[in-house]
Amino acid sequence: MSNDVRKLPPSDVLRELAALFAAPAHDRHVYCVFGSQASLRRFSERLKKEVAKGSFNKLGAVEYLSLSHDLLGHLKARGTYAQAGRLADQRRDEQLKGLLSSTFRDLMTSRIEAAGTVGLFVADFELLYAYDLGGNDISLARQVAINGKRVCLLVPGRMRDGRLWIFDEDAESRREFPEALVFKNSGWVFELAD
Distance CA 125, CA 190 (A): 18
Residues of the chain falling short of pLDDT 70: 1-3, 133-137, 185
pLDDT of residue 1: 43
Q: What is the 3-state secondary structure (H, E, C) of the chain?
A: CCCCEEEECHHHHHHHHHHHHHCCCCCCEEEEEEECHHHHHHHHHHHHHHHHHCCCCCCCEEEEEEHHHHHHHHHHHHCCHHHHHHHHHCCCHHHHHHHHHHHHHHHHHHHHCCCCEEEEEEECCHHHHHCCCHHHHCCHHHHHCCCCCEEEEEEEEEEECCEEEECCCCCCCCEECCHHHCCHHHCCEEEECC
Single-letter residue type at 125: F
Which structural domains are found in the chain, ordered by start?
Answer: 5-192 (3.40.50)
What confidence tens digit (pLDDT) does each residue in 130-177 have? 777 655 567 777 888 888 899 999 999 999 888 888 887 888 878 888
pLDDT of residue 135: 52
pLDDT of residue 45: 96
Distance CA 105, CA 143 (A): 11
User: Rounded mean pLDDT of the chain?
Assistant: 88
pLDDT of residue 133: 65
Distance CA 192, CA 169 (A): 15
74: enclosing H helix or E strand: helix 67-78
pTM score, whole prediction: 0.89
